[in-house]
Amino acid sequence: MEGIVESIVEWFANFPIPKEIVTFIISMLPVLELRGGMVAAALMEIPFFKALAICLTGNILPIPFLLLLVNPLFAWMKNTKLFRPTVEKLEKRTLSKKDKLEKGEFWGLLIFVGIPLPGTGAWTGAMLAALLGIKFKKSATAIGLGVILAAAIMSFITYALPWIIAQF
């Protein structure tokens, strides 16, 4: 992931955009999310607490909109020839991860979002929760706590671990 994030940071470097805004945008993007934002912040030497606040805000901001709009948007898109195949493919890919949640919606969703592995995260978690019909309050809380868990893990990887290594 670091290579992808470095490429994006370099691309943004061509524009006069503050590094904090770059970090915020990366944290909002699907796939990269907070994980990519924390790596970008560390690469751009943004102080830890500032980076953490920016990444948490950027990753959590789209979640309520996703939870509320995924189903109506997908329903509308399925009625068009242009978008139907894409939506069906996205639904199939997202729903293929549902077995990870079935044993306990809340905790399954929290862990699914919080453990920084490829194919997991707040965006996929929100789409999955919406497609499975998990109630808004339950899914928003689980996803929010999952983002905090991901932030703790990524904070250790991107800020604490390099500092510990530098002490030796």
Amino acid (1-letter code) at residue 38: M
Instruction: Note whether 59 and 50 are within 8 A (CB).
Output: no
Give the pLDDT band (50/70/90) at residue 97.
confident
Average pLDDT, the chain: 90
Summarize the confidence of residues 44-64 as an average pLDDT.
97
83 and 43 within one domain: no
Largest CA-CA distance found in the chain, in angstroms, rounded: 60
pLDDT at 4: 78
Overall number of domains in the chain:
2
Let me know whether 39 and 26 are in one domain.
yes
- 55 and 70 together in one domain: no
b/e map of 140-161 (b: 16 or more CB within 10 Å)? bebbbbbbbbbbebbbeebbee
Does 71 map to a domain? yes
Q: Examine the fold and report which residue of 10, 31, 60 is the final residue of a domain before the chain moves on.
A: 60
Please say if the pLDDT value at position 110 is more than 70: yes
pTM: 0.86
Task: Give the mean pLDDT of 83-88.
Answer: 90
The single-letter DSSP state of residue 157 is: I
Q: Does any domain span residue 88? A: yes
**24 plus 77 within the same structural domain:** no
Q: Please check whether residue 161 lies inside any domain of the structure.
A: no
Residue 53 lies in domain: 2-60
